[in-house]
Amino acid sequence: MCFVSDYLLVGLLLVVGFAVWVLVDKSMGAETIYGTAVLLGAGSASILVMSLSMMATLIGEQTGSAAFVYGSMSLTDKLANGLGVLLIQSTRPCGTEACCPDCI
């Protein structure tokens, strides 16, 4: 299990590195956006693969419950992403330049 937690930590550090880079670099241009995309993509992919590996370990030999486990985890993922989108949209309610020039 230590192997899985190590890769989760690496993925988390990559995503945190992305977040810090975006927070610090106020004038992010076309050159630096690729580096941030690589950090976010690699971090997210490693976290996703490790969480799928943990689910497969959870199921183990009890393959009769595999569909329920994968389905419930997928539903939880969709609900969490939907709530995240709603939270982000509620903090930036206006999408026009007249209302909020920084939002466009």
Which tens digits make up the pLDDT trace of 1-58?
Answer: 567 788 889 999 999 999 999 999 888 888 888 989 999 999 999 998 998 888 888 8
Residue 101 has pLDDT above 80, yes or no: no
Q: Examine residue 101 and state whether it is found in any structural domain, yes or no.
A: no
Q: Domain total for the chain?
A: 1
Q: Examine residue 85 and state whether it is found in any structural domain, yes or no.
A: no
**Domain of 24, in residue numbers:** 1-60
HEC profile of the chain: CHHHHHHHHHHHHHHHHHHHHHHHCCCCCHHHHHHHHHHHHHHHHHHHHHHHHHHHHHHCCCHHHHHHHHHHHHHHHHHHHHHHHHHHHHHCCCCCCCCCHHHC
Q: pTM value?
A: 0.70
